[in-house]
Amino acid sequence: MQFIDLASQYQHLKARIDMRIQNVLDHGQYIMGPEVQELEEALAEYVGVKHAITCANGTDALTLSMMALEIKEGDAVFCPTFTFFATAETIAFQRATPIFVDSDESTFNICPKDLERCIKQTIAEGKLSPKAIVAVDLFGLPANYPELEKLAKKYDLKLIEDAAQGFGGSINGKRAGSFGDIATTSFFPAKPLGCYGDGGAIFTDNDEYAELIRSYRVHGKGSDKYDNVRVGMNSRLDTIQAAILLEKLAEFPRELTCRDRAAAEYEKELSGSYKTPQVPKGYTSSWAQYTLVDENRDAIMREYKNKGIPTAIYYGTCMHQQTVFKALSFRKDNCPVAERLAKQVFSLPMHAYL
């Protein structure tokens, strides 16, 4: 049994994906070929935003967004402590200071109450200027955007949605990738919508941000490719990856239904024995992970292993516990919920071909 079964997915889509790749080999436009624009249009339509801009990976998608929002040294950027490293890394990469926020007990996402406490504390200390919130749709479940948007407005902060795991989820019919000022996703193979290498995308309704990001993505180009008007990076999505994603995106709604069915089956079988993931009313999850919480995690994982069922820990270390961020640990109470989650969570196999 596979933790994420990419081989079964490929077998299911083989004829279509092979044909798409062959088309690229035939036309030979490997960089920014027609499939890239076709994909960007399809992504924008699926998510329900004006602009979808593809890039090299989900980490670059965050960096490009932060460049557009001019996040810089001296800025405080609030993010969940219980997340994948890239969320915090990209804040620090801009030379801004990540402020780590505790998790909501039931959703594992950034806790709006603790977030407001951190914002107030940062303002009271007066050392950093509060600039933005990066929320993460952890394990596929969108963060609490109704509350986060209120806080962003109240404290005049920009809001970035890190939907690397959340692509495909929604709140009251509004899709992940459409929340905040700018949203990002990753097409790393193991994500809900993955390609066969690295890939990422940025979503926004804001024309000005979109133009900046399109420029930063290709060496800060101006209207002419060889007129560089700002310092950017090289972060394009390969045409072959775009071609693969076009076929995977077409299949994605059906796969989401399969993931939902697998999650419902897990819930039925496991809710008596474990704390199972709960999806709040009005929300849907893309089930990037199916994650349980248990004090006896190690023993349970061993038992599953003996039965041939792979499990994994996402995540065993909070951001405020990471070696590189130890010097930043400014909070006396740290983050009790996230620290407990890091000790107790484990994830079961989850994919559309389970």
**In the block, residue with structure tokens 């620090």:** 92
- Which residue's Cβ has the minimum distance to ligand PLP? 58
Q: SS in 3 state form for 30-88?
A: CECCHHHHHHHHHHHHHHCCCEEEEECCHHHHHHHHHHHCCCCCCEEEEEECCCCHHHH
Q: Distance (Å, rounded) from C-alpha 231 to C-alpha 224?
A: 15
CB closer to ligand PLP out of 85 and 155? 85
With respect to ligand PLP, which residue has the nearer C-beta, 127 or 312? 312
Query: Residues 191, 248, 268, 343: which is the catalytic one?
Result: 191
In whole angstroms, what is the distance from residue 109 CA to residue 111 CA? 6
User: What is the largest distance, in Å, between two alpha-carbon atoms of the chain?
Assistant: 63
Which residues contribute to the site for ligand PLP (CB under 6 A)? 57-59, 83-84, 86-87, 136, 162, 164-165, 186, 188, 198, 200
Shortest distance in whole angstroms from residue 85 CB to ligand PLP: 8
Q: How far apart are CA 42 and CA 52, in angstroms?
A: 9
Q: Which is nearer to ligand PLP, 6 or 270 (CB)?
A: 6
Q: For residue 344, what are the contacts with CB-CB under 8 A and spacing of at least 6?
A: 293, 294, 295, 297
Nearer to ligand PLP by C-beta: 47 or 86? 86
- State the Cα angle at 346 between 344 and 348, rounded to 5°: 155
Q: Which is nearer to ligand PLP, 308 or 325 (CB)?
A: 325
Closest CB 183 distance from ligand PLP, rounded Å: 12
Q: Provide, rounded to whole angstroms, the least separation between the CB of residue 225 and ligand PLP.
A: 25
Rank residues 84 and 290 by Cβ distance to ligand PLP and give the closer one. 84
How far is it, in rounded angstroms, from Cα 228 to Cα 253? 40
Question: In this complex, which beta carbon is closest to ligand PLP, that of residue 114 or of residue 161?
Answer: 161
Shortest Å, Cβ 255 to ligand PLP: 18
113 is catalytic: no
Backbone angles phi, psi at 62, to 5 degrees: -70, -45
The phi and psi torsions of 222 (rounded to 5 degrees) equal -90, -155
The answer to whether the Cα torsion of 217, 220, 223, 227 is positive or negative is negative
**CB of residue 242 vs ligand PLP: minimum separation in angstroms?**
15
Q: How far apart are CA 14 and CA 115, in angstroms?
A: 45
Question: Which one-letter DSSP state was computed for residue 221?
Answer: B
**Rounded to the nearest whole angstrom, what is the least distance from the CB of residue 305 to ligand PLP in the complex?**
24
- Structure tokens given for 302: 């061993």
Strands 283-284 and 170-171, bridge-based pairing:
antiparallel
The nearest distance, CB 224 to ligand PLP, in angstroms, is: 30
**What is the identity of the amino acid at 112?**
P
User: Which residues have a catalytic role annotated?
Assistant: 191
